[in-house]
């Protein structure tokens, strides 16, 4: 919505949506493998920090350089790097305990 308010162009909003969808799909495919190998909680926290940093970068970028379409797209792609693996890590259940494991 902020894109529409700043640019005033629905086409820009669509361009950003399209530009961030492709990386989200690619990252989502790789995220499954990474999540199976690493701690889900750690990945979820790191992914959330990446997403938060990308969103928090909007005001400084706007005040220093101004928010042009390509800067929105770049920050949107960074958000995709956080949202896709973070969502997968939160939604994927932990693997079951091995049989005979000590309680």
Whether the model clears a pTM of 0.75, i.e. scores above it, the answer is: no
Give 61: exposed, middle or buried? Use CB within 10 Å, 0-12, 13-18, 19+.
Answer: middle
Give residue 74's pLDDT: 92
End-to-end CA distance of the chain: 50
Average pLDDT over residues 37-54: 86
Chain segment 56-75, per-residue pLDDT in tens = 999 999 899 988 889 989 99
Give residue 64's pLDDT: 94
Cβ pair 15, 73 in contact under 8 A: yes
């Amino acid at each position: 919505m902020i894109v529409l308010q700043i640019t005033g162009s629905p086409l820009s909003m669509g361009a950003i949506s399209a530009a961030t969808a492709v990386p989200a799909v690619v990252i989502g495919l790789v995220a499954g493998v990474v999540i199976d190998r690493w701690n889900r909680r750690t990945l979820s926290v790191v992914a959330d920090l990446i997403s938060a940093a990308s969103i928090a970068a909007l005001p400084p970028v706007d005040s220093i350089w101004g928010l042009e379409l390509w800067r929105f797209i770049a920050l949107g792609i960074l958000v995709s790097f956080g949202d896709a693996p973070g969502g997968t890590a939160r939604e994927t259940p932990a693997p079951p305990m091995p049989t005979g494991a000590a309680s």
